[in-house]
Chains A and B, each alone.
Chain A
Amino acid sequence: MEIYPPLPPIMIHSLALAPVTAIVSAFAMPLIGLTIKNRKVWDAFALTISTIVFILTGIGYATVRYLGKPFVYLLGGWPPPVGIVYEVDEFAALLGLVSAFIIWLVVIYGVKYFDSNEDGMEWYYTMLLGLEAGVLGCIYTGDVFNVFVLFEVLSITSYGLVAFWNRRGECIEAAIKYSLIGALATTIYFLAVTFIYASLGTLNMADIAAKIRGLFFPVTGEPYGSIALGVGLFLALSIWAFTVEAGVAPNHFRVLDAYQVSPSTVAALLSAVAANVGFYLLARYLITLLSGARAVETIVNAGLLIVLIMGLVSIIVGSFLMIVQSDVNRILAYSSVLNYGYVCLAIGLATPLGIIAALFHMINHAVAKTLIFLTAGVYVKASGTRRLDGMEGVGRYAPITSALMVIAALALAGVPPFNGFVSKLILYEALLEVNLAPLVIIIVLSSALSLLGYLKIIYHAYTKPPMKDYGKVEPPKAMLWPMIILAALCIILGVASPWIYDMFIEPAAHTIFETDKFIEVAYEFAEKLLIGVRI
């Protein structure tokens, strides 16, 4: 019996091809850079690859939608518990699509953002494509150890990206901080994997989910020793690693410097795309893998509580420290910490509405934060400083960019017609549903504070009269169009939210709770292996 209906080859392979294309071209990029010393060729190559990957993720999303159940891709033809597999449900596919889309726009923006005599652009593209591979791999994979590998790919490329302007001391300092703490996080995650492997004897996600629930899964055998202890250590360590990766409050220190000093494109990517991986994995592990299992119920509830409290701390820290900053990128960095807090809070609730809020806010934050980082990049480039006091009225020379910046700021602050409002509204609903009304106040307060922070940027950069002639500030079309697309998305996701909610967000968020389907599909593949063994 076939598990899936017959599909055209492109649909079958698209999900695996997306990260593979990215990583292969990332390794090809330095070679191209050695042979062809022409910036335009490099730009064209990176642009082509990111477009292809975006299309592939789109096809992958369509495949998963069409199948209506998680899509399992066997790498090398080995079935689940033995080989490494990609197991993609709608949640992952949607997130992958959004990530690839954002990266695509950032690549287009970056072509003109970096000066034509900028050093080391081939390395920038290498790192960027590597980051894309890491992000997509982490999101698509169905194997706990493969997550570690791609997590390392993601981390190492992001260290490189932060240190891109390597002639500046502050960039090196930020990169060192970023990489030291990041390396600690990946190592901690490696330890977590050893614990789960030691106690369950498997690294496959579906297998782990089945074993914890006491279900039978072929080949890997019975769990060893106390499940609760192994799973508890695994959970504790991986929550720590993922919150470091995402930059949630007690672990947020490394992201601040990194977002502050790195190029705007890099800051946008790290804030909007790389951080989502951490949240995705948190939701996947805490809810799909472990939630609802009787043996580890207490541990998982404690884990959710910790995530929720970290989210709260993140909200408070982010919003209060945001308004005292006087550096554009640092304000935006704290705003990222604040928004990570919302997502963590929503995941910590672990209700269907909470996950919907988390997913929607991840997408909305990705869109709006990318937009605001890119517009701020225009200001910083024109005025030559990141300090608010040095950029009086620079926005008046770039009316379109300023309008886009206002849209992004309002969207992030959660003002009604824009997208940020809708996801916050769902988050409020989720909080009131579990009777946590006082937390609503904290979110409203933090929204008001964050609006103050964005208003500071708008006041200094736009409404203050300019003190000097900045010349031509409005960026070329290649930089403007990605921003206009993002701004349009901010409005569409907000205005058309009832339909987008019904069509995309709710079904996608629902899949994170469908552990049965998640196990079942992998089991159907594993069963073939079992028949083979018996024969």
Chain B
Amino acid sequence: MANGIFETLMLVGETLIYPGAVFSFIVAIFTQWFRRKAYARMQNRMGPTYTGLAGTLQPFADYVKLFFKEDIVIIRGYAKLPAFLLALAIGALIAILLMLPISPYSVYAPYDIIVAAYLLIWPTLTLAALGFLTPSPYGALGSSRLLTLTIAYEVAFLISILTPVVLANRILGAQYSLYLSSIYSWLLWTNPVLIPLIIISLLTALISLQCKLLEKPFDIPEAEQEIVAGPFTEYSGPKLAFIIFIHDIEQYVNSLIIVFLFLGGVAPFVEGPLWAQILVVAIKYIVVVLVLTWIKAMVARFRVDQAIKMLWKYIVPLSLFALIVSTVI
């Protein structure tokens, strides 16, 4: 009984502090700052410099500013429902963190990769629902674009992350669990036959993640020259702060999944000291974010049909190929 109470407290503590809400907020601020700074440097700009050391607190200032602005609800719009949906999406993203090895007491069971997949799709659907909850035509158009893309890139992302999970199950007996696969995934790099598969799925995962984050070549749903801000057109104040926070934390969680499933997590220091493991994960995380930023700075936006064609013609078949080979091998 005491054990049960302790576990419950542990769960609540993890949810609220580490690796849950508070820690995620800090990482989200850091990620946004890093991404803005790197993006600016790639375009020969300065990026945030004013607030805090080298502008590190600029995202925090933005959040505070948005948070204390008025929440404007347009006629025939909804006030509370979008806020609740956004809160749910944040909850879903933070729940995934509990299933990863970064949390001290991980939640895992055989086949829990499916739960993770559902939680990963949840924020996208929330963002799409936001557009449908306003009478604005831009909102509905943006949401319909987003959902059309979703069918392509969520599938590609899911197939991509399933590949190492399936491999880890078949070769290392990880039982389709996100946690166990994350722990064992570095062993996959020791087998030269599997390396091409991992590289292919890593590539497709990165590209579909770029689409999931609605960043440059795929920022079609919020294409500002065409449909203002897409699903987010009519949202302001705290809701906009939530939307930006979801974007940051989505980047954080998904990049972390890529780090653990594809890049081997704590790899060179599997036995090693804790500080080295933390450092390795942090470095790998920064590399993933940097690659995503680099793609964003390098390319221009696709048209919606081009994007879908690209995803369905190259990314999905490529990732599917890797998955099928990994099931058969």
When C-beta atoms are compared, the residue in chain B nearest to A414 turns out to be B118
A463 at the B interface (CB under 8 A): yes
Find out whether the CB atom of B162 lies under 8 angstroms from the CB atom of A437: yes
A325 to chain B, nearest CB (A): 15
Given contacts A455-B147, A463-B133, A435 and B176 within 8 Å (CB-CB): no
Find out whether the CB atom of A441 lies under 8 angstroms from the CB atom of B323: yes
When C-beta atoms are compared, the residue in chain A nearest to B151 turns out to be A448
When C-beta atoms are compared, the residue in chain B nearest to A445 turns out to be B155
Contacts of A436 in B (CB 8 A): 327
Contacts of B110 in A (CB 8 A): 429
Q: Which of A429, A452, A465 contacts B111 (CB 8 A)?
A: A429
How many B residues touch the partner, as a band?
20 to 34
A136 at the B interface (CB under 8 A): no
Q: Please, what's the 1-or-0 string for B263-306, where 1 marks a CB less than 8 Å from any CB in chain A?
A: 00000000000000000000000000000000000000000000
A125 at the B interface (CB under 8 A): no
Q: Please, what's the 1-or-0 string for A449-469, where 1 marks a CB less than 8 Å from any CB in chain B?
A: 101100100110001110000
Q: Which of B117, B132, B158 contacts A463 (CB 8 A)?
A: B132
A416 at the B interface (CB under 8 A): yes
Given contacts A432-B176, A437-B166, A449 and B151 within 8 Å (CB-CB): yes
A404 to chain B, nearest CB (A): 16
Q: Please, what's the 1-or-0 string for A418-442, where 1 marks a CB less than 8 Å from any CB in chain B?
A: 0001000100110010011110110
A478 at the B interface (CB under 8 A): no
CA distance A437 to B163 in the complex (A): 9
CA distance A441 to B121 in the complex (A): 13
A44 at the B interface (CB under 8 A): no
Q: Which of B114, B122, B162 contacts A429 (CB 8 A)?
A: B114
CA distance A458 to B128 in the complex (A): 13
Find out whether the CB atom of B154 lies under 8 angstroms from the CB atom of A464: no
B159 at the A interface (CB under 8 A): yes
A444 at the B interface (CB under 8 A): yes
When C-beta atoms are compared, the residue in chain A nearest to B135 turns out to be A465
Q: Which of B111, B140, B162 contacts A459 (CB 8 A)?
A: B140
Given contacts A440-B162, A441-B162, A451 and B125 within 8 Å (CB-CB): yes
How many A residues touch the partner, as a band?
20 to 34
Find out whether the CB atom of B135 lies under 8 angstroms from the CB atom of A464: yes
CA distance A513 to B126 in the complex (A): 42
Find out whether the CB atom of A459 lies under 8 angstroms from the CB atom of B132: yes
| In the complex, chain B residues 111-157 whose Cβ is within 8 Å of any chain A Cβ | 111, 114-115, 117-118, 121-122, 125, 128-129, 132-133, 135, 140, 147, 150-151, 154-155
Q: Which of A435, A444, A464 contacts B155 (CB 8 A)?
A: A444
B76 at the A interface (CB under 8 A): yes
| In the complex, chain B residues 65-98 whose Cβ is within 8 Å of any chain A Cβ | 76, 78
Find out whether the CB atom of A448 lies under 8 angstroms from the CB atom of B154: yes
Find out whether the CB atom of B327 lies under 8 angstroms from the CB atom of A438: yes
Q: Which of B76, B114, B132 contacts A440 (CB 8 A)?
A: B114
Contacts of A465 in B (CB 8 A): 76, 135
CA distance A256 to B320 in the complex (A): 32
Contacts of A448 in B (CB 8 A): 121, 150-151, 154-155
CA distance A445 to B121 in the complex (A): 11
A425 to chain B, nearest CB (A): 6
Q: Which residues from chain A sit less than 8 Å from chain B, CB to CB?
A: 414, 416, 421, 425, 428-429, 432, 435-438, 440-441, 444-445, 448-449, 451-452, 455, 458-459, 463-465
Q: Which residues from chain B sit less than 8 Å from chain A, CB to CB?
A: 76, 78, 110-111, 114-115, 117-118, 121-122, 125, 128-129, 132-133, 135, 140, 147, 150-151, 154-155, 158-159, 162, 166, 169-170, 176, 320, 323-324, 327
A416-B118, A432-B114, A452-B151 given. 9 additional CB < 8 A pairs? A432-B111, A432-B176, A435-B170, A437-B166, A437-B323, A441-B155, A441-B162, A445-B155, A465-B76
Q: What are the 9 A-B residue pairs with the smallest beta carbon separation, nearest first?
A: A465-B76, A428-B114, A429-B111, A459-B132, A465-B135, A437-B166, A432-B176, A445-B155, A463-B132
Name 30 interchain pairs, CB-CB below 8 A, sorted by A. Answer: A421-B118, A425-B114, A428-B111, A429-B114, A432-B169, A432-B176, A435-B170, A437-B162, A437-B323, A437-B327, A438-B323, A438-B324, A441-B155, A441-B159, A441-B162, A441-B320, A444-B117, A444-B121, A444-B154, A444-B155, A445-B151, A448-B121, A448-B151, A448-B154, A448-B155, A452-B151, A459-B140, A463-B132, A464-B135, A465-B76
